Amino acid sequence: MGKIDPTILKSIVFKYLGCRRREVLVGPNVGVDAAILNVNSSLVIFKIDPITGAYRHQGKLAVNIVSNDIACMGGKPVAITITLLLPENSTANMVEEIMREADEAARKLGISIVGGHTEVVTGMNRPPIVVTSAIGVPVKPGKIYHPRMVKPGDAILMTKTAAIEGTYIIFEEFKDILERELERDLIEEIKSFADKTTVIKEAEILAENELVHAMHDPTDGGLLEGLYEFAEAANLDFIVYEDRIKIAKSTLKLARKFNIDPLKLISSGVLLAAIPPNKIDLALNTLKDIGIEASIIGFFKEKGHGRLVKRRNGRLEYVDKPVVDELWRILMKKHF
């Protein structure tokens, strides 16, 4: 379940990319969040993303998550299209709920919904799948950010707390049980996570002030998969420290209950940024000024050092292969 192995992407998928056009400045690669085109001397950023793991609130998540990828390339999302793949037992109310949430999220971010597709799929026995594509333009005209701009010694900045989206999805899936078991303040914390699954605010201000070399948003596979993808795209290694990674109390509570590693739980809403050493304090203070909590969790290293996370107990763990998201294990047990 989840993303296919990067070796399959590289050896099979990336072999079949159609015509090579000069307008394509940045094409597909592991850890690269979006494509960049030069159209009539103007840069356009393009991305497509599905929502498959969430069975509720797909409309809001679909808008936020595809927009995050535009923002990570230094862009401002302008417009999206939405494709709804619906089960045979779908209702008009189901469609309206998804589109109402998408509309609210898009309005909040200043994005137009300009088209899409709706289809009832024969034999589909699961909740709707929502696929969004987005286009955007650079926050600063002509300025984009790519993982190959990352340098050894760059600090790895992380915003918010790990596993934001995963915590929210698990709560919604097991709401009847968790509303009885969790303290009221933890429930309110989790409910607030739905509006924290966007990184546009922090990505835009870092891009506007040129405080980063590159950015990436960890989604499926969680923070560790996001770090792996970032390093793959940058062709670098890293060291991160678990005791520097912020994890919300509610996330820790669910992690203990479901026996999951929060660093391997889907983390849309978190931004990873490669910060030049001389801009660390300015980046942290700039984010603090707009109400975004952030921390330095590690550093990029030259190839050969290994991709490592130092756990709280001092153990060094290699992150040298793709990470399977903990969410899939939980959903498989419940629904299949």
Residue 115: how many CA atoms within 13 Å on its side-chain side? 3
Please give the residue range of the domain that contains residue 272: 147-334
The CATH number that applies at residue 237 is 3.90.650.10
Q: Residue 1 — very low, low, confident or very high, per pLDDT cuts 50/70/90?
A: low
Counted domains in the chain: 2
In this structure, the answer to whether residues 315 and 210 fall within a common structural domain is: yes
Q: What's the angle, vertex CA 217, arms to CA 216 and CA 220, rounded to 5?
A: 130
In this structure, the answer to whether residues 18 and 73 fall within a common structural domain is: yes
Contacts of 278 (CB under 8 A, 6+ apart): none
| Predicted structure pTM score | 0.92
Residue 174: is its pLDDT beyond 60?
yes
Of the residues 138, 157, 182, the one at which a domain ends: 138
| pLDDT tens per residue across span 51-107 | 987 777 899 999 999 999 999 999 999 999 999 999 999 999 999 999 999 999 999
In this structure, the answer to whether residues 134 and 153 fall within a common structural domain is: no
| Beta strand ranges found along 53-179 (DSSP E) | 75-86, 112-120, 129-138, 155-159
In this structure, the answer to whether residues 220 and 315 fall within a common structural domain is: yes
| pLDDT tens per residue across span 279-325 | 999 999 999 999 999 999 999 999 999 999 999 999 999 998 888 89
In this structure, the answer to whether residues 130 and 204 fall within a common structural domain is: no
In this structure, the answer to whether residues 190 and 310 fall within a common structural domain is: yes
User: Within a domain: residue 1?
Assistant: no
The CATH number that applies at residue 24 is 3.30.1330.10
Q: Residue 125 — very low, low, confident or very high, per pLDDT cuts 50/70/90?
A: confident
The residue-averaged pLDDT of 131-138 equals: 98
Residue 112: strand, helix, or coil: strand
Rounded to whole angstroms, the Cα distance separating 312 from 306 reads 18
Residue 5: is its pLDDT beyond 80?
yes
| pLDDT tens per residue across span 239-252 | 999 999 999 999 99
User: Within a domain: residue 195?
Assistant: yes
Contacts of 152 (CB under 8 A, 6+ apart): 236, 300, 301, 302
Q: Which residue type is seen at 218?
A: P
Residue 110: is its pLDDT beyond 70?
yes
What is the four-CA torsion angle of 207, 210, 212, 214, rounded to 10 degrees? 60
In this structure, the answer to whether residues 96 and 171 fall within a common structural domain is: no
Of the residues 79, 113, 138, the one at which a domain ends: 138
In this structure, the answer to whether residues 131 and 180 fall within a common structural domain is: no
Residue 18: strand, helix, or coil: coil
The gap from C-alpha 1 to its chain's centroid, in whole angstroms, comes to 17
Q: State the DSSP code for 121.
A: P
In this structure, the answer to whether residues 130 and 183 fall within a common structural domain is: no
Of 9-18, 48-57, 206-215, the one with minimum mean pLDDT is 48-57
In this structure, the answer to whether residues 129 and 172 fall within a common structural domain is: no
Residue 336: is its pLDDT beyond 60?
no
